[in-house]
Amino acid sequence: MASSASQPDRLTEKLRLTPSRRVRIIGKIRPFTNQESESSSEDSKPRITLRKPQDGNRVFVSFLDQSASRKDATYELDYCYEQDEDIEVIFSREIKPLISDIYAGKSASIVAYGARGSGKTYTIQGTEKNPGLVVMALTELLLEAERIGKSVCLSLCEVSHEHVYDLLDTNHSEVQVLEDARGKINLKGLSQVSVKSIPEFLSTYFNSNFGKSAQKLPPELSKRSHKVVLINVFDNSNGKLVGKMNFVDLAGYVDARRTSADGSTLTETTRINKSLHAVLNVIYALNSNESHVPYRESKLTRMLKESLGGRNHVLMLTCLNPLLCQDTVHTLSLASRSCQSMDHVSIDSVVKVKSSARSQVLSSQKIVKLATTPASMKKQADCSMQLSEKKGSTKPNGRKLFDHGKKVISNQEKHTKDADSVKLPELPNESNSDLAITESRLKEALEDNHVPDSALPLVPSSEAVLEDKSIVNSSVVEGLDEDISADNRSNDVEVTPFANADTSLLEHGNAGTEKKDKCLQKIEGASPPLSERLREISNNLKLFCSTTPLRVKMPEEFDKQYSAGMCFTDTIEPKTPTAEICTRFSEKLEITKYSSPWEKFSQRSSGMKGTLVEDYLNFLNTASKEELKRLKGIGEKRATYILELRDESTEPFKSLEDLEDIGLSAKQIKGMLKNVASGLFS
């Protein structure tokens, strides 16, 4: 227990992250190139400048227009290395401390990201004269491998146009990214060579297509692509994989609206930017501790899924041009956004929520906060809530990284940020713990695609009463039936559960929620108003607490069992029946589970809806191409893509949200299901 508790601390300490953050985001400013140093026109361009607060936990990057002594936007990173700092410094501070963890079974991924020409390749790969991070890491890994009897293997690949190519193979054969049912990734067809020394590595590396210039690649391979170095460490005694280290040299970002100097087409640039965004979305989701990480958005993130997730190390190295250019500002702003810690979670996580149910509950958390917010702050908070709700109503996944309000601070945006990130006062402890309970209940419920009323945080105390006192009677509570006839009295069991429950709590809860409901109703897809639900619970509870004894008709068999020694006494001291009896009891007890025909109808139909969704997903996971095409909305292209996904994973569609992976919007998914349902009656 002690070791598992200390594990995350060690990890976050190593990466110097706040406990909630998973990915460390650092910058490296490239030195001036000869051309930049010589060009006098560049002097007029604002230069990058750093501010390092005393605490050393973060760095603020901005561009300083020296002629106007004006600073533009400021971006926050975990750290940033200056122009004159060597790559060796980055290695010894950021990567070397992770090596021991590779031998302890972890993975580490170093992802270089930045605008074109910002120094990614130089930093990752280096030159034969000036080794980059890969060479430094490998040197260290080899030393350790020799010392403890492990071996090191290398794979090199390129991801281009959503295809992975093996760069150690002279035929550049395509690598298949397969995922088994347990989510284990298998890179089928990827070559691997054993490396024993650095000269051996350098020869392999620089003679591979990886090290060669892009022009030598066959035309079908894009000039701009993501390059990946995969270093695997194996145990010599059993041949098993011990740990991995990946270096990813991402293609450079270029604004697709500008014509590319190297002749990249608009389609290619857009495609590359899309895959870069996919990587950033994954990093953002990891850093925000989101339950859904959109690995499926690109081939690259899919192939690295195992190394990026879990308790593995991820370091994003943002390479920066020293002079102001729009592409650098863009990459810096996105890196900075992913760098934001969970400080903003109460406001911003709503933007990223995936399901409307989650959105509803997160919103309700904010409502709880509002309820405890002094009136003077409510106005601001309302404003930020509306903002979040609006954002939450658009397509809710990682792609939204580029839609929602920036977290970076700029002179122009300062006022927007102030409104957007207004900090609400801390909830009292009690409410916080209620929220924690609520959140965990909610998580469980979400897994079942169902958000129970109990997940809503507004009546915690009365819920607690209900839970405490009704445990032994829970089956009876559900089975309350006012219509039990007097004729059945001989078989009736009188139950007086907890006559003294304080129903005023519920009334109080009701009164306070009318207003909040209005807010909730605004949210698309929100459940029935909270007050309505509370009223329902309240009524049930009142009924339950009334002095009139509740009578339940027992099935004959059950009754006999109890007559034979287990029966309830008049004062109701229920004993725990055996599991077998419980099953038979629930099967045979003639209790209507619903308080009204409407409730019965709506609950049953929601059950049917669940079954329909399940069958629909099952169909997508198993049907042939021709069968798939029979569904409205699935043509040749989508059917082919579905089959491709099924090649990679045995069950690619586990929830309706997974359909977004085949390019369907939430609206289209809903429409398709409506079609299926209406087809049943045609």
Ligand X SMILES: Nc1ncnc2c1ncn2[C@@H]1O[C@H](COP(=O)(O)OP(=O)(O)OP(=O)(O)O)[C@@H](O)[C@H]1O
Instruction: Give the contacts of 211 (CB within 8 A, at least 6 positions apart).
Output: 125, 205
Is 5 or 261 the residue whose CB approaches ligand X more closely?
Answer: 261
Residues 6 or more apart whose Cβ sits within 8 Å of residue 410? 72, 73, 74
CB of residue 376 vs ligand X: minimum separation in angstroms?
49
322 is a contact residue toward ligand X (CB under 6 A): no
Question: Interacting stretch for ligand X, rule CB under 6 A, among 89-97, 119-127, 338-346, 650-658?
Answer: 119-127
Shortest reach from residue 16's CB to ligand X, in Å: 22
Provide, rounded to whole angstroms, the least separation between the CB of residue 49 and ligand X. Answer: 18
Binding of ligand X by 31 (CB under 6 A):
yes
Q: Which part of the chain contacts ligand X (CB under 6 A), choosing from 65-73, 112-120, 497-505, 522-530?
A: 112-120
- Closer residue to ligand X, CB minimum distance, 114 or 405: 114
Q: Which amino acid belongs to residue 550?
A: L
Provide the minimum distance between the beta carbon of 115 and ligand X in the complex, in angstroms, as a whole number: 7
* CA dist., res. 389 & res. 524, Å (int): 9
Nearest-approach distance from CB 118 to ligand X, in angstroms = 4
Q: Give phi and psi for 526, each to the nearest 5.
A: -70, 155
Stretch that binds ligand X, among 117-125, 182-190, 370-378, 478-486 (CB under 6 A): 117-125
For ligand X, the closer CB: 116 or 358: 116
Query: Is the distance from CB of 519 to CB of 367 less than 8 angstroms?
Result: yes
Q: 156 has which bridge partners?
A: 229
Nearer to ligand X, 156 or 242 (CB): 156
Check residue 252 for interaction with ligand X (CB under 6 A). yes
Contacts of ligand X in 346-365 (CB under 6 A) = none
The Cα–Cα gap between 87 and 156 comes to: 22
Q: Which residues, listed in sequence order, are joined to residue 210 by a DSSP beta bridge?
A: none
* Paired tokens of 413: 């945006």
Query: For residue 677, how far is the Cα from the chain centroid?
Result: 31
Judge contact between 361 and 353, C-beta under 8 A: no
- Structure-block tokens of residue 152: 């090191």
**Which 3 state secondary structure label does DSSP give 637?**
helix
Q: By CB under 6 A, tell whether 120 contacts ligand X.
A: yes
User: What are the beta bridge partners of residue 241?
Assistant: 234
DSSP string, 639-667: HHHHHHHHHH-S---SSGGGGGGGT--HH
Sheet holding 70-77, edge to edge: 47-51, 59-65, 70-77
Residue 247 interacts with ligand X (CB under 6 A): yes or no: no
Question: Residue 253: helix, strand or coil by DSSP?
Answer: strand
CB of residue 31 to ligand X, shortest distance in Å:
5
Identify the CA nearest to 564 among candidates 556, 103, 410: 556
Does position 227 bind ligand X by CB under 6 A?
no
Q: Is 369 in the site for ligand X (CB under 6 A)?
A: no
For residue 147, give both structure tokens: 């010392």
In the complex, minimum distance from the CB of residue 337 to ligand X, in angstroms, rounded to a whole number = 20
What are the tokens at 360?
A: 């509803």
Q: Could you tell me which residues are beta bridge partners of residue 316?
A: 25, 111
Region of 113-121, 587-595, 631-639, 661-669 interacting with ligand X (CB under 6 A): 113-121
- The residues pairing with 109 across neighbouring beta strands, listed in sequence order, are 246, 314
CB-nearer residue toward ligand X: 116 or 404: 116
Phi first, then psi, for residue 226 (nearest 5°) are -95, 135
A 10 A CB-CB count for 197 gives: 12
Q: Which position among 319, 493, 642, 645 is part of the footprint of ligand X (CB under 6 A)? A: 319
DSSP labels, 22-38: -EEEEEEEPPPPHHHHH
Q: From the list 49, 121, 260, 393, which residue makes contact with ligand X (rule: CB under 6 A)?
A: 121
Which tokens sit at 416? 């927007």
Min separation Cβ 150 and ligand X, Å: 31
Decide if residue 33 touches ligand X (CB under 6 A).
yes
Between residues 29 and 233, which has the closer beta carbon with respect to ligand X? 29
Taking the least distance from each CB to ligand X, the nearer of 118 and 438 is 118
CB of 182 to ligand X, least distance (A): 36
Question: Nearest approach, Cβ of 254 to ligand X (angstroms)?
Answer: 8
Using rule CB under 6 A, residue 126 touches ligand X: no
Size of the site for ligand X (CB under 6 A): 13
Q: How many CB atoms lie within 10 A of CB 604?
A: 11
Out of 27, 46, 114, 396, name the contact with ligand X by CB under 6 A.
114
Residue 265 vs 432, nearer CB to ligand X: 265
Cβ proximity to ligand X, 230 vs 248, nearer residue? 248
Query: Given candidates 21, 47, 106, 116, which one binds ligand X under the rule CB under 6 A?
Result: 116
Segment contacting ligand X by CB under 6 A, of 120-128, 356-364, 368-376, 451-459: 120-128
Euclidean distance between the first and the last CA atom of the chain, given in angstroms as a whole number: 59
39 binds ligand X (CB under 6 A): no
Is the alpha carbon torsion for 388, 391, 394, 397 positive or negative? negative
User: Least CB distance from residue 264 to ligand X, whole Å?
Assistant: 10
Per CB under 6 A, does 380 bind ligand X?
no
**Which residues form the interface with ligand X (CB under 6 A)?**
30-31, 33, 114, 116-122, 252, 319
